[in-house]
A and B are shown apart, each in its own frame.
Chain A
Amino acid sequence: MLLTPEDINAIGLSMKVALTATILSLPFGFAVAWVIVYKAFRGKVLLEVLVNLPLTLPPVVIGYLLLLLLGRNGFIGRMLMESGFPVIFTWKAAVLASATVGFPLLVRSIRLGMESIDPSLVDASRSLGATWQDALFSIILPLSSRGILAGSSLMFARSLGEFGATIIVAGNIPGITQTIPLAIYDYASSPSSTAMALSLCLVSILISVAILILHETVAGKIESGRNR
């Protein structure tokens, strides 16, 4: 297998971006799923549409909108720039792009997990003296763990493959914002680099298989823990 130092850098960066995006999104994903499942309010459909929009929008569109928002002339971008925290064309922009694109997958999985919880269990915990926050952390959170796990795996995998939105907001700067898909894209455009491109493809396949195996193992552990 042929891997240049830049490739290794790209692999490391991909993992860092995917992991950061997943971990940062988890609390928000959980909160949004909870609101959708347990709260009744006007405009709930609107929230659902908004959450799921990145799933149906072309990633390039998302990238472009993020660029407008975070760029030098964007409202948030200018504030970030002034506070000495530039985001655009850094790895943080790649995180934001991945988080936006992967968020609907995370929320969907957590929501499915929450919807499978018998609401009477929450009633039982309340009647035993648990406040709603207590019930949220002692009953709903652990019982959604399979959904949270599935959502995190999906989101991590989706982030590893993120291309369209990332190339627009983070660019394709080797060593700084070049993730695995962007590096493969570079190699693919020159005919002499087929072996290099294939090596990175192989790395991608290995990481994906590892995620799937990890997901199945942890899910199996959760399941067997419940059937003691």
Chain B
Amino acid sequence: MKLSIDIEKKFSAFSLRFGTTIAGKNTGIFGPSGSGKSTVVKILSGLMQPDRGEITIDGECLFSSTRKINLPPEKRRIAMVFQQALLFPHMSVKSNILYGYKRCADAQRRLNPDALLELLRLQPLLKRGPGNLSGGEKQRVALARAVLANPRLLLMDEPLSALDDTLRFQIIPYLKSVSTEFGIPYLFISHSLVEMQLMADHAIVMEEGLIREETTPEMLARTRMAASRHGYLNLLRISGAEDRNGMFACRWGGNVLLVSENPGTGEALFELSSREIILFKKNPEAISARNLLQCTVTELFRSDTRIGVELTSGGEKLVAEIVPRASEELGITTGSTIFAAIKASSFRRLS
């Protein structure tokens, strides 16, 4: 999928200028609310008309002010998942899911509805009405409905914002697997950096109606480390939890970590702030923190007045945050060995 977009739109108190080419499968648009993300979504889907510019997808022109082309939304084959699920209240879950599929030309029906229902575990919900589904179920139905319209691009406009934290991170694997399994590229719009890190390979940063920069979510998280309230958030996938004196010992790469929150069975996602990691030059032998990892410093980076230290341990990476003075005292350089202490309670379970 190759999407070229170069558009302008003026409102009374706000103007938008958005020009870029998107080629990757998992691209994110990141920015605070009011930065123009949703306007871009509306313009791409054809629900709003830009003042001027051009939009082409895989060589087909969707909009061109000079050539007077403006494809209506139903001809663009760009499906959307919104912040609210927006299920049709007068239809059953099944009719909701098949709404776009039924309106799709036979030649474009590439997906098998049963396989998707299986993947999203929607079979038990089919006969119900949308009125008594939970928030997460609603969003899964909305996702299935959008995907079955066989779009060439899926726009996800803050699809997780209306869900609570636990649900948010339960839905993310579904969003990703649907795109991978069925080969549908997506544009993921969010104001959450963690969501960007989990969902996108490439991030377009918007501010006040303009593209501020194009980068990777990882780079974005690193440069914003010092300014962010929570520092850099390390995302750890851990598995194989075992109860050990009221704490849980789990595998994380080649290491064993002790966490205080129950990770449950199977794989779980935890976050760890870069500010919760204490670095030691030598093995401190006895400390109260329950995790002490021997690490190699693989990279140092600057974020305002702080220094980010990328550590590698057991094949996994962590970012710790220190002030320059500490860096000098510890004599940290790339390649040096260092000990990282982390309290078991510092890990916060996301899913």
User: Which A residues have a C-beta under 8 Å from some C-beta of B?
Assistant: 118, 120-121, 123-132, 134, 138-139, 142-143, 145, 225-228
Contact = CB atoms under 8 A, between A and B. Distances in A.
Contacts of A124: 80, 82, 86, 88
Nearest to B108: A129
A125 B88 contact: yes
Interface in B116-140: 128-129, 131-132
Nearest to B102: A129
Given A123-B86, A128-B74, A143-B90, 13 more contacts: A120-B82, A121-B86, A123-B80, A124-B80, A125-B88, A126-B46, A134-B74, A138-B99, A139-B88, A145-B90, A225-B129, A226-B129, A227-B132
Contacts of B37: none
B131 A130 contact: no
A133 to B, nearest CB: 10
Chain A facing B: main interface SS? helix
Interface string B68-109: 000011101111101010101110100000011001100000
Given A120-B82, A226-B129, A228-B132, A126 B72 contact: yes
B42 to A, nearest CB: 8
Nearest to A141: B90
Contact of B74 (A131, A145, A228): A131
Contact of A118 (B72, B73, B86): B86
Interface of B: 45-47, 72-74, 76-80, 82, 84, 86, 88-90, 92, 99-100, 103-104, 128-129, 131-132, 145-146, 149
B86 A129 contact: no
Contacts of A129: 74, 77, 100, 103-104, 149
A225 B146 CA distance: 24
B128 A228 contact: yes
Contacts of B132: 227-228
Contacts of B78: 127
Contacts of A125: 88, 99
Given A139-B88, A226-B131, A123 B47 contact: yes
Nearest to B146: A128
A128 B72 CA distance: 12
A57 B86 CA distance: 42
10 contacts: A121-B86, A124-B88, A125-B88, A125-B99, A127-B47, A127-B80, A128-B100, A139-B88, A226-B129, A226-B131
Given A120-B84, A134-B103, A143-B89, A127 B79 contact: yes
- Grouping DSSP codes into helix (H, G, I), strand (E, B) and loop, the B interface class, with mixed when no group exceeds half, is loop
Contacts of A132: 72
A63 to B, nearest CB: 40
A130 B82 CA distance: 17
Best-surrounded residue of B76, B92, B103, B131 (most CB of chain A within 10 A): B103
Nearest to A120: B86
Contacts of A131: 72, 74
Given A226-B129, A227-B131, A228-B129, A128 B89 contact: no
Given A227-B131, A228-B128, A228-B132, A127 B88 contact: no
Contact of B145 (A118, A126, A128): A128
What 5 A-B pairs are tightest by C-beta distance, nearest first?
Answer: A228-B129, A128-B100, A129-B103, A126-B73, A124-B86
Contacts of B47: 123, 126-127
Contact of B45 (A127, A145, A227): A127
B90 A130 contact: no
Contact of A128 (B46, B90, B92, B103): B103
Contact of A226 (B45, B72, B90, B99): B90
Nearest to A124: B86
A127 B45 CA distance: 7
Contacts of A139: 88
A174 to B, nearest CB: 46
Contacts of B129: 225-228
B82 to A, nearest CB: 7
